[in-house]
Chain A
Amino acid sequence: MAIIPSPVDLAPLRRAPAWRTAEYICWLLPVAAYFLFPTSLSLLSQMAITGLFALSLDLILGYAGIVSLGHVAFFGVGAYAAGLLAKYGYGDPLLGLAIAGTVAAAVGYLSSFLVLRGSDLTRLMVTLGVAMMLFEAANKLTEFTGGVDGLQGVDMKPVLGLFRFDLYGKTAYWYSVAVLFVFFWLARRIVHSPFGLSLRGIKQNVIRMPAIGAPVHARLAAVYTLGAAYAGVAGALLTQTTQFVSLDVLSFPRSAAVMLMLVLGGTGSLYGALIGTLVFMTAHHFLSNLNPQYWQFWLGAVLVLVVLFARDGIMGIAQTVIKRVRGKA
């Protein structure tokens, strides 16, 4: 008796890549924010940049399931690459982004050989170790990086030769948002591609994927490189918009913070990374003005609660709520 495989409903997968109305509205928010909060444009640019950084971590953690405590390494590499380029006369922003992304991708590709060995715990340690090594290197190579004083003399040329970086941060804001949008769009294409689906397969069952012919190691190395490139671009953006690189771009707290944002928003969903960043940075902005110590305490408390009760973050809660509402209707 022949067993007829039950047809798998592929319709949701086919529909997934299409843009939904809510998403269009979501991308109108940055435009609205520009007119609503014209005085806090630098904070808003920071949010866009950190959002891109969270997105890069989401690619490797949320979609491919590679745990990393040292993702900040690539952010820092990108930041320093862009800073040094601009300092020595190649101040074109887009060129800087491209080169910073490439350099970070190269570092990511090389370190992927170290990271992809071993268990989760080994990965956590190796990523952390690599980031700490880079931090110490940047700290000690003062003639290149300026050490603790930071890299100064970053001189940026106008974006596309047209838009100067102004004092009010208008250009910086639009530039950051535009770059974020382009890379978000690209990431969206990637996660819905067969490549992206195979990553999710690897995350769900790493033993079965080779059996259906997916080269697990090559795929993971590829996405790790991609995540590194994204982080590098985010780092370069930070350098270009602030025209300064501090040692802080390689610090462990930044690595931890971006992970928290991602977990808060929900891993494995691109909007989760952005929403997490938005909530986190808004809360940080207001609460740390009140008292930095309270902020840290509540951050810790929220983190514990999220892990215990809301494992999928804000996006997970939102999806549950939507399902319930639809189920009742």
Chain B
Amino acid sequence: MTIIFDGLAAGMLLFLISVGLSVTLGLMNFVNLAHGAFAMLGGYVCALLLSRAGVPFLLAVPIAAAVSAAVGVVLERTLYRRLYGASHLDQVLFSIGLNFMAISAAHYFFGAQQQPFALPDFLRGQINLPGLDVGIYRLFLIGIGLILAVGLQWLVSYTKFGAQLRASVDNPRAARGLGINVGRAFTLTFALGSALAGLGGALGIEMLGLDPSFPLKYIVYFLIVVAVGGSGNIKGSLIASLMLGLVDIAGKYYLPQAGAFLIYVVMVIMLIVRPQGLFGRTAAK
């Protein structure tokens, strides 16, 4: 039982970070490998606010998300925008370049060591039920993840903004013709994606750690979630992350000698069976 619970919590954390990527990659069709860099930025902002400025945790996390979103907007306006029409390969190279810059910048400012990080008291500890140890922070993560999943699903599917965004992605020209400000829709979406990355990064320090190699260390996991879940699909990302978290934790527990091997096997099999992802809609282009 504890394994299932830990798996769910790990999966939820994966979801928190990678849902932002699902937004940029899936909805905007931009292969943003620098997503991990935004998550790292959120993580550093949160960690520094906690340790140096003494800001309470629950305030530091939204600030981290806001800072990531702001940086996201600046980069989108100046750089990303030029590459919307480019091939996936160009986007991959461009964002790997950004990753390298982010990694060495983090190295330069904060050093190579792990950032110290302490949770506030009310999120520490465990609740012991018969046959099940529930970490409070993990419970907290699962709660936030569920709220976000529902909120995002509602935002994309049922609001006017969501409709405008989907229209802008599917057919920018027609959308523009209908008076939708496509550029603005993209900027806002990118900000949303970056904010989610920052949020996930801030919430993830406790379980993933935080050091300058973060963007490359975990990017594979985020990509797997998006690729397996189907692009631009909140529900798919959620289910894929939970599955991945479960497989990862269970694999580490029952088959430690297989290591991370299991995850890659699952991913490749998934991609072969369902190239569009679990719940993918067929690509518009």
A: residues with CB less than 8 A from B are 61, 67, 69, 114, 117-122, 124-126, 128-130, 132-133, 136-137, 139-140, 252-253, 256, 259-260, 263, 293-294, 296-297, 299-304, 306-308, 311
Contacts and interface: CB of A to CB of B under 8 A. Distances in A.
Interface string B105-128: 101100000000000000000000
A133 B88 contact: no
Interface string B1-38: 00000000000000000000000010000010000000
B267 interface: yes
Contact of A303 (B79, B93, B105): B93
Given A120-B88, A304-B94, A307-B83, A126 B268 contact: yes
Given A67-B92, A140-B261, A263-B93, A304 B275 contact: no
A119 B283 contact: yes
A44 B283 CA distance: 46
Nearest to B260: A136
Give the residue among A69, A121, A311 with the most B Cβ atoms within 10 A: A121
Binding site of A, secondary structure by majority: helix, strand, loop or mixed? helix
Given A139-B259, A293-B107, 8 more contacts: A117-B272, A121-B31, A122-B275, A297-B101, A299-B97, A307-B90, A308-B94, A311-B90
B99 interface: yes
Chain B interface residue count: which class?
A: 35 or more
B149 interface: no
A129 B102 CA distance: 24
Given A293-B107, A297-B100, A128 B259 contact: no
B12 to A, nearest CB: 22
Given A293-B107, A300-B97, A303-B100, A132 B265 contact: no
Interface in B246-273: 257-261, 264-265, 267-268, 271-272
A319 to B, nearest CB: 19
B175 to A, nearest CB: 22
Interface stretch (B191-199, B220-228, B234-242): B220-228
Nearest to B112: A293
Interface of B: 25, 31, 79, 82-83, 86-90, 92-94, 96-105, 107-108, 216, 220, 223-224, 227, 231, 257-261, 264-265, 267-268, 271-272, 275, 283
Contact of A294 (B104, B268, B275): B104
A120 B87 contact: yes
B227 A125 contact: yes
A252 B257 CA distance: 21
A135 to B, nearest CB: 9
Contact of A114 (B101, B108, B268): B268
A263 B83 CA distance: 16
Give the residue among A61, A126, A300, A304 with the most B Cβ atoms within 10 A: A300
B172 to A, nearest CB: 19
Which 10 pairs show the lowest CB-CB distances between chains A and B?
A300-B100, A303-B97, A300-B101, A118-B275, A297-B104, A304-B97, A136-B261, A120-B88, A300-B97, A296-B104
